[in-house]
Amino acid sequence: MKDHSVELLTEPGQQEQIADLVRRLLTALGEDPRREGLRLTPRRVEKALRFLTSGYEKDPDRVINAAYYDIPYDEMVIVKDIEVFSLCEHHLLPFFGHCHIAYIPNQKVVGLSKLPRLVNLYARRLQLQERLTNQIAQTIWQKLEPQGVGVIVEARHFCMMMRGVEKRSSVAVTSSMLGCFRDNPQTRHEFLSLIHSEKKR
């Protein structure tokens, strides 16, 4: 799995460099970064961007390896409606929605809280929704070696809502199905039925 992470700027001088770039950007947009409302904006933006891209500094191996257990369980495990907030790498605008994860163990299960942590790790990078979906699925597939993995992400993109086509109700849906979720239509159908069951009520 190709990792698109980059080395983050972490030194105080480099943090100031980011803030200075924001000041220059504000000036290029026709604003005055020295006026009261914008005076602290460059540092706020620098801190916000560092938080929103903090996933580059985290290791998915440590997230998963810290809490998986050998248990003889072979039924589907689902964690659905995991909130997702990320930044689209094309326009640096947010996209947000929900992620649904299912896997069928092969003697290994992972602590349930680790799956939302894994989602956050990859979401807090500059992303494409398609890549985000694949990265989550591939990591679970490689680390747990389950019978199958299914990941679905449903998200709204501000680059479509605020600009371009300006379609505020559009939802992008991406999926990654591995193992029995790809090969067995019945398994895939069970996953889809379970994650959408409450929405039909």
pLDDT single digits (tens) 149-191: 999 999 999 988 887 776 777 899 999 999 999 999 999 999 9
Q: Is residue 160 part of a domain?
A: yes
Per residue in 86-100, pLDDT (tens digit) is 999 999 999 999 999
Active-site pick, 4, 15, 16, 91: 91
Q: Is residue 107 part of a domain?
A: yes
Per residue in 27-80, pLDDT (tens digit) is 999 999 999 999 999 999 999 999 999 999 999 988 887 678 888 888 999 999
Catalytic, 180? Answer: no
Please indicate, yes or no, whether residues 178 and 103 belong to a single structural domain of this protein: yes
Q: Is residue 162 part of a domain?
A: yes
Please indicate, yes or no, whether residues 81 and 171 belong to a single structural domain of this protein: yes
Answer whether 95's CB lies under 8 Å from 88's CB: yes
* The pLDDT of residue 120 is above 60: yes
197 half-sphere exposure, CB direction, 13 A CA radius: 8
Please indicate, yes or no, whether residues 97 and 171 belong to a single structural domain of this protein: yes
* Residue from 76, 90, 93, 101 nearest 154 by CA: 101
Active-site pick, 31, 142, 159, 190: 159
Question: Which ranges in the chain belong to alpha helices (H)?
Answer: 12-28, 41-52, 60-65, 114-123, 129-144, 158-161, 180-183, 185-195
Q: Whole-structure pTM over 0.75, yes or no?
A: yes
Q: For the chain, what percent of residues have pLDDT higher than 70? A: 91
- Residue 4: per-residue pLDDT: 45
- Residue 192: per-residue pLDDT: 95
Catalytic, 14? Answer: no
Active-site pick, 127, 129, 135, 147: 129
Judging by DSSP bridges, how do beta strands 148-157 and 94-104 pair with one another? antiparallel
Answer whether 100's CB lies under 8 Å from 78's CB: yes
Please indicate, yes or no, whether residues 48 and 80 belong to a single structural domain of this protein: no
Catalytic, 129? Answer: yes
- Residue 1: per-residue pLDDT: 45
- Residue 198: per-residue pLDDT: 60
Please indicate, yes or no, whether residues 77 and 104 belong to a single structural domain of this protein: yes
Please indicate, yes or no, whether residues 113 and 165 belong to a single structural domain of this protein: yes
Please indicate, yes or no, whether residues 26 and 120 belong to a single structural domain of this protein: no
Please indicate, yes or no, whether residues 177 and 133 belong to a single structural domain of this protein: yes
Quote the domain boundaries for residue 176: 69-200
- Residue 194: per-residue pLDDT: 93
What total number of domains does the chain contain? 2
Please indicate, yes or no, whether residues 109 and 37 belong to a single structural domain of this protein: no
Q: Which two tokens stand for residue 189?
A: 């159908």
129 half-sphere exposure, CB direction, 13 A CA radius: 22
Active-site pick, 17, 83, 90, 130: 90
Q: Is residue 1 part of a domain?
A: no
* CA–CA separation, 198 and 201 (whole Å): 5
